[in-house]
Structure 1
């Protein structure tokens, strides 16, 4: 389905959850997914469609610089899969 070079939990985040005017402490797992900017919209749609929350925390953080070889690897490993014939 989605190709991405790296995915993994960053750990438990303790935060104050505030849905519908109520506020309480909560814990949630944060997941870091690395992909090419051209693939973000597709990945976002998949995450939102399959997440149990109505408004999951999905956002992108741009890599403004990085090792050339690594960024090339990200681009290569996140390119769309060839169509099945």
Structure 2
């Protein structure tokens, strides 16, 4: 079976987060995407510690579609250096994992 991954990014606007989530699913790059409630982020940027409210988007996809998803998100993201982290899925129900593969194989 194709390897399944969860890819994550963050963004500072709820509507943009929803658009990034929906667009990736509509284009077949992710089987689904979750937008988490806003949280407070602390990070260092250009030698200053910054604070921002952000939304996390978690995409369920396959390793076969991961590079394309990353390029798609980067092209639509508003940050200079968007967070992009991938986590391997090491287990799950066969039915769910098969569904992720099926949904990301359509395009």
Q: How does 1:40-79 map to 2 (within 5 A)?
A: 40-79=66-105
Does 2:24 correspond to 1:2? no
CA distance in 1, matches of 2:106, 2:80: 28
Higher RCO (CA-CA < 8 Å; seq separation 6+): 2
Task: Indicate the residue corresponding to 1:29 in structure 2.
Answer: 55
Number of equivalenced pairs: 81
TM-score (norm 1): 0.86
RMSD: 1.4
Runs of 4+ in 1 over 3 A off after TM superposition: none
If the length of structure 2 is used for normalisation, what is the TM-score? 0.70
Q: Which runs of 5+ in 2 are unaligned?
A: 1-25
The residue that corresponds to 1:17 in the other structure is: 43
Structure with the larger strand share? 2
Q: Is the 8 A contact 1:2 1:43 kept in 2?
A: no
Bigger Rg over Cα: 1
Contact 1:16/1:24 (<8 A) preserved: yes
